[in-house]
Every structure is written in C-alpha cells, then in structure tokens.
Amino acid sequence: MEPLLKINREKCTACYACVRSCPVKAIKVEPDRPKPIIIPERCIGCGNCHAVCFDNAVDIRNSKDELKKLLKGETPVAALVDPSIAGEFPDITDYRKFVSMIRKLGFKYVQEVAFGVELVAQQYKELISKSKGKYYLFANCPISVMYVEKYKPELIKNLAPIVPPVIATARVARKLYGNDIRLAYISPLIASKEEAVRLSGEERIDTVLTFLELRELFSESGIDEKNLEYSEFNDPIGYKGSLFPLSSGILEAADIDQRVLTSKVITVEGDLIFDSIREFEEEITTIKSHFNIFYKEFIMGRGTSPGARKWLRRSQLIKYLNRRAGNFDEKSHQAALSAYDDIKLERGFVNDDQRLPAPPKDKVEKIQAELQKHEENERGCGACGYKSCHEFATAIAQGLAVPEMCNFYATSNTLDHIQSLKISNEKLAQAQAALKASEKIARQEKESSMEASEITRTMLQKLPSGVVILDKSLKIIQANESFIELLGEEALEINEVIPGLTGADLKTLLPYPVHNLFTYVLANNENITDRDITLVGKQFSISVFVIRKEKIVGAVIRDLSAPEVQKEEIVKRLTDVVDKNLSLVQQIGFILGEGASESERMLNSIIESYKPKN
C-alpha cells in the first residue's frame, strides 16, 4: 500500500517547512538529496507537513478510487459518518440533505458514528470509576495512539483498552447487516486512513474517506442538495455522542465530571499533548489524573477543508445537536444502547518502537563544532525545526538532517562561497587572458602548419615519381597525379569524381604482388627499397616505407623507362655491378692467396721430410 503521506519531488522546492513542522521528525533530508523524504514508519499521520506546504508538494493517499470500486460491487456498502460533518458543511442548510447526498453516491446505509461514541463513552465512565491508582491515556485519537506506540511504548500499558468510536460503530453495523457488509468511514482525520489498515475481523473498515475527498466526489458526481429530498441516518441514532468532535466531547457524552476541583480527567489538545504525555510518564503519581488527549479537535482535523473557522464549525455542531434534541426520545435511546451492550469494545495496541539510538557523544560534538555551535549556544534559533543545536546535531548524526538546514551554517558557508567565487573569478580572468594568448599562438601555428601542408601537398603533386600514402586497411589517404597517371585511364576517370582517389581500396587498383608489398611492410614494420615491379606493361621501381607503425605506409614508384630515371638507374646499376665484381675479385684473391700459402706449407713439409738426417 502507498504511504499515507508522500512528498512530490517535482513540486517540492526544499524549503524545509515540512521538516520544521513535523513533531516526531519523521521527515529526513539526505546529503546527496536536498529534497526531504517522509519516513512512513516514523509518521504518526498528523498532517502538519501537508498543512504548511505552500507548494502543495505533500500528497495524501487517495481513497476515492477504492471507494468507487466498493460502490460498484454487488455487496452493499454502509457509510460510517463522523459527527464532525455537521461543522464541515455549513453551506448545506439541513443535515438531512448531506445524508441524502451521501446516499446518492451509492451507499445503501448511512450510519452515525455518534452512536458508537456513546457506547465507548460508557466504557470510559466505567473504566474511570473502577480504576484504583492506575491512570489512563484516552485512546480515541489515532494520532495520539500512534505517537505512544512509536515513541513512548513504555506507556502502552496506560492506553485505555477501549476501541475508538468508529470501531464500535463498525461492530454495530455488522450486527445489523451481517459480516459481509462493506464499510467506509467518512472521517475528518487523514490518520484514520492509517488506523484502518490495521483492522480486521468484525472491526474491519474497508476504506477511509476524508471530508475533502467527500466534497470532491460530490462535485465529480454533480450531486447538489437542491435536487434532493431529506433523508435520515439509519438507526441507531446518537445524541450527546455528536459532541465527540470537540476535545471534551467524550466526557460530555459519558457525563463524566469536568469540574476543575473534582474531575479525575485532564483534557489536552494540540502540540501540548507531547509535553503532557512526557509529564504523565514522569509525574503521574503526583498528577493523579487520566489524560483525555487529542492532537486536534476532530472538527479541525487535517481531512477537513482548510482555512475554516473553528468557532463557526463548533456553532454548527451545537446547532445540529440542538435540532436533534427536539425529537430525542430518551427511553428509545436507552433501549438502543442496551440492545448493543454485548458488543466487544476491548482493544490492544502494538509496540512499534521507532526511537533511534543515541549517536556517540564525540560524533555529536564534532558536528556541533563544524556548525560552530557550542554549549553556550545550546538553545539555538529553532529555524532548523529542532528545539536546540544539540538536538539538531544529534539528528544529523542519526541521518535525519543535514547541516545546510541551519541558517547560521548556511549563511557562513554562503559568505565563504562568495569569497571563494571571487578568488576563482580572478583566477578565471587570468586563465582567460592566458587562454586568449595561447589561442593566438595556436592560431598562428595552425596557419603556419596549413601553409606548410599546402606547400608539401603542392610539391608532392609536382614530383615526377608516383607517391601514395595508405592506412592499415590499404585505403588511399593521399596520392599524387603521377601515381594516378601510372595506373591508367580508369584511375584518371575515378580521380575526376574522387580527387586524389581518397578512400579508394589499393587492392582494387594494383595487382596482388604489388599491394602485397604494402601488407608486408605494415605487418613487419620493415621498409622495402628499389623493388622492381611490372605495371601496365612497364617496368617500375618501388620503395615502400613505414610512416606510422602498423597504421600508415607510403610508397614512391619510379618509371624505369623515363630518360632521367634510365640514366640514373644505369649509373646506379653499373656502380652496383662494379662494386659486386670488385667484391668477387677480392674474395677470389683471398681464396687464391690462402690456397698458395697452404701449398707452400705442404711443399716445404715434403722437402723437409726428404732431407738427409745428421
């Protein structure tokens, strides 16, 4: 299932208003991801983040599609309507009209949660009257319950073991219509969506719709009170339970004493509940009172229309109750309560401890030093959303926050960054000047290189010998006119289309014995000089040489029939013949000399052997 609350990263501007507003720090900011992330496991569903986000970047899990699917099914669906609805719709003239509008959506039954409130209220009255030295935290507000389960699990034993009114109403509906009935709770709280996820069996609620979503469905379906008749809630009907949306409403419904001097119950509302729960934990033996806690009065819940006026809603609620009082039958009401006194109203709770372990002290101190925050500055400005600089440093160590959330740190870093930018700009200006000078020199060198290249190219074209340069695939990189002419008419025609035969495959232009010389030179990085070859019936001399090892080779091809080449070649070859003959003569002389010497030695030996011996 999707998280109850999720930050839309496309809309989020990373203002951190949500981080500052979260009472349990269920929103973290990571170093490499400046946009905050809601941690579902730590969230208690208060909806503060959604309320303070001016960019509408916090999305609430939508239940409209889920409800539409239920209403289209074959199983009947009952709406369980929180009494806060009387304050939500001051624009509707009579409560019976919004009951008709709800039925028009497709609900078969419309049950009033106010009756469930009265069942639960009786249980609270009995719990208080029977408690002997043990004090309880009332468990009607899902936000308060989740807070205790996640952050004060030691107090779970002090949560009143009584189901909230909507669960009591769900059990009434199943007793009336059977276990198969589908139930949709219309609630002023977004936290109710999360509470319903945990329910099963007789207390199961299939979906939770906020008042805002109900308004949207009315609009989408074109439902208007002007076109509808009156309709009443299905029995059983509540009475004083309709005051439940007010913080002390459960006490009113149960006729529990609220006088300051004698009451055993303290009612706490809003952000004060966190401090009050802490005091309950630490000082309850002195305080000696039960705590009726609501994070928000239901008439102002986060699932209601924003910007509403609290006292207008309160007056609408009282007006609704007074109208009902005119037809109220106390005897019938008591009979209805008695008819359902067998419904189980006990509940349990879940230890879902989400407290993070305290980081090492030296790590926190190191972070404080980096933030330039020390003990004398412990209180802090609170702009980061944490009560103190120490708490903020602890959150950083726990991975929930980043230093940039601190205004002082961010400002200091900005000033340092500005100074750094100034120095960088000065260096950049110097680098730009040096770059311009380098560009000028490079441009001049490029022009000189281009001029030299053009001269070389021109000289290459004027050479009487054929010159060709090839890549490792024997594709022509450059060739002069003499080379193209010695290839014949076909090559000349190609040259008109592709100047210099650039890109042409040498293997298609020269016979294998010739182009194989190039392959040899590329493979062995060994030059070949003055090799005789025959092309188009003529004799040529070719020299193939390495230009870049295994990548580029070049060749010079001379026509041996050209007069200037013939003269040069005759002289060269005569010289080679003379040199070779002289070498041969020298070798013969050496051999003859060696032979004469050996003969002389042999003859002398024979003579010596025939001489008379003395």
Identify whether residues 585 and 496 lie together within a single domain: no
Q: What is the mean pLDDT of residues 574-580?
A: 53
Number of domains in the chain: 5
Q: Are residues 523 and 547 in the same domain?
A: yes
Q: Are 72 and 183 part of one and the same domain?
A: yes
Structural contact between residues 235 and 176, judged by C-beta atoms closer than 8 angstroms: no
Strand partners, 554: 469, 545
Q: Is residue 233 part of a domain?
A: yes
569 or 353: which carries more pLDDT confidence?
Answer: 353
Q: Is 95 among the domain residues? A: yes
pTM over 0.75: no
Is 236 a member of any domain?
A: yes
Task: Provide the percentage of residues in the chain whose pLDDT is more than 90.
Answer: 38
Domain at 32, CATH number? 3.30.70.20
Question: Quick one: pLDDT at residue 140?
Answer: 93
What's the domain range around 580? Answer: 565-595
Whether residue 53 is found in the same domain as residue 120? no
Q: Where residue 579 falls among pLDDT bands split at 50, 70, 90?
A: low
Average pLDDT rounded to a whole number, residues 395-421 = 71
Closest CA to 196 of 338, 93, 80: 80
Q: Tell me, what's the pLDDT at 578? A: 47
The enclosing H or E element of 528 equals strand 528-535
Q: Say whether both 25 and 168 belong to one domain.
A: no
pLDDT of 462 > 80? The answer is no
Decide if 127 contacts 160 (C-beta within 8 A): yes
Over residues 216-256, the pLDDT tens digits come to: 999 999 998 888 888 989 989 888 998 999 989 999 999 89
**pLDDT tens track for 88-104:** 887 777 888 889 999 99
Q: How many CA atoms lie within 13 A of 93 on its CB side?
A: 7
In 10 A of CB 565, how many CB atoms? 18
**Mean pLDDT within 546-554:** 89
pLDDT of residue 159: 96
429 is a domain residue: no
In which band, very low, low, confident or very high, does the pLDDT at 589 lie, cut at 50, 70 and 90?
very low
Predicted local distance difference test score (pLDDT) of residue 199: 80
The enclosing H or E element of 520 equals helix 512-524
Tell me what pLDDT residue 429 has: 79
**Which residues are within 8 A (CB) of 509 and not within 5 positions of it... i.e. 6 or more apart?**
487, 491, 501, 515
pLDDT at 81: 95
Structure tokens at 256: 């529990």
Cβ neighbours of residue 255 closer than 8 Å, sequence gap 6 or more: 125
Span 146-175, pLDDT tens digits:
999 999 999 999 999 999 999 999 999 999
